[in-house]
Amino acid sequence: MTTASVSQYSQRELTARILPYVFFTFACYLAIGVQLAILPSYVHLNLGYNTVLAGLIISIEYAATVVTRPQAGRMVDRLGAKRTVLYGLAIGGVSGVCTLLAAFFPHIPWLGLTFLVLGRLLLGACESMVSTGATIWGILTVGSEHTAIVISWNGICTYGALAVGAPLGVFLERITGFWSIGAMVILLGFAPIAMAARLPRVPVSHGEKLPFHHVFGKVAPFGLGLALGSVGFGVLATFITLDFAHRQWNGAAFALTLFGALFVCARLIFAHSINRVGGFRVATVCFSAEFFGLLLLWLTHSEALAFVGAALTGFGFSLVFPALGVEAVRHIPPQDKGTALGAYGVFMDFALMVIGPAAGAIIGGFGYPPIYLFAACSVLLALGLTQWLSSRERKTKMI
């Protein structure tokens, strides 16, 4: 089907065409989400390691994603989106096997941690391949003019899965034990393969490929803004469970759910605003909201206000990725869009990789609240960078 014919579809029909592809992202991030509220506590309280390692067990996955995301983009451009997604799902299932094995060695901490690390590394590769592949698969299916909508729906599936996954993981662990987390990841990796195999392939774009460093250089300024804006999410997702426990508050999983729920609602309501007013304006509003949400988390001494801060942070972070992403890939040729999207996403992965141990070190020296101030300052820098990029774009158009 041609791009022209796809563009004539109604919004409902367009959504119906996108959802089968971004479902694979949902499955991948649900596998990530069921571990978010469990692994730091399991490593710290059950295996007996410190808060730095508790944060590192989450960040290890992002380290693997940093390494594999560029390769995933090149796989999409060369092998096709479908094959990339299929390979990624299979790797995700294997990561679940490692997590399941870790559950059988609680009294041998180093061995349990080794299996967890291996599982997280594999899950990071799965995330790179499935998320990048599913996004490009959807874009090529409905047409490049709907790039922002596909990226938005991909993000809805991402953080919707995290919102569902956090309380689901807590529930499974309390009812059946830690082993059920590994079993769930196995299911989420292998089961969607049958669905992916039935969907049609999309043709690989031909043409001379740009060198990776050239593509990387084009998207780097936008990726830096994404990285700085991702610090808030990384801090909240990794440490809010331990923060709530330290303050003797209940409902850390609910705070993550609020973050994800407001994230999803904002994308559902405002996703089309990127095409209407531009990515830079949307990113400016988003960074401002995220900044105030993180300030509230830093200053609050109330559980209820912490919930408000988490929700506002989720609302603010909602459209950062697609808003800057649309601007990042706007001038990239079709045959390099997979590589560009992979290079862009690696900045977020890198931020999430380093924030775990960095925030853990801050906690060790100053306690939990300062990590939210650190994140707020990072978002403020992202806001300033966005204004600079917007000004640069306007000057380029005037020339």
What is the rounded CA–CA span in Å between residue 322 and residue 350? 18
Q: Tokens 């610090």 map to which residue? A: 231
Q: Which residues of 331-344 are buried (b: 16+ CB within 10 A; e: fewer)?
A: ebeebbbbbbbbbb
Dihedral in degrees, nearest 10, Cα atoms 169, 175, 179, 180: -60
pLDDT at 129: 94
What's the whole-model pTM score?
0.74
Residue with tokens 């992916």: 196
What's the rounded Cα separation, in Å, for the pair 82 and 86?
6
CA distance 138 to 142: 6
Distance of CA 254 to the CA centre of its chain: 19
DSSP string, 352-395: HHHHHHHHHHHHHHH-SHHHHHHHHHHHHHHHHHHHHHHHHHHH
Burial of 397 (0-12, 13-18, 19+ CB in 10 A): exposed
- Residue 357 confidence (pLDDT): 79
CB-based contact 323:286 (threshold 8 Å): yes
**Domains of the chain, each with CATH number or no CATH:** 8-203+210-398 (1.20.1250.20)
Please name which of 264, 252, 383 lies closest in space to residue 324, comparing C-alpha atoms.
383
> What gap in Å lies between CA 372 and CA 235, rounded to an integer?
7
Vertex 110 angle, CA 180 and 177, to 5°: 15
How many CA atoms, within 13 angstroms, populate the side-chain half-sphere of residue 308?
A: 11
Would you give per-residue pLDDT tens digits along the chain (399 residues)? 334 344 455 677 888 889 999 999 999 999 998 987 788 878 877 777 776 777 778 778 877 888 888 888 888 888 889 999 999 999 999 999 999 999 888 788 888 888 999 999 999 999 999 999 999 899 888 887 777 788 888 878 887 787 788 788 888 988 998 899 999 999 999 999 999 999 988 876 666 677 777 888 889 999 999 999 999 988 887 788 888 888 888 888 788 888 878 888 888 888 778 878 888 999 999 999 999 999 999 998 888 899 999 999 999 998 898 899 888 888 788 777 778 888 888 888 788 778 877 888 898 888 888 999 999 999 999 999 999 999 888 877 666
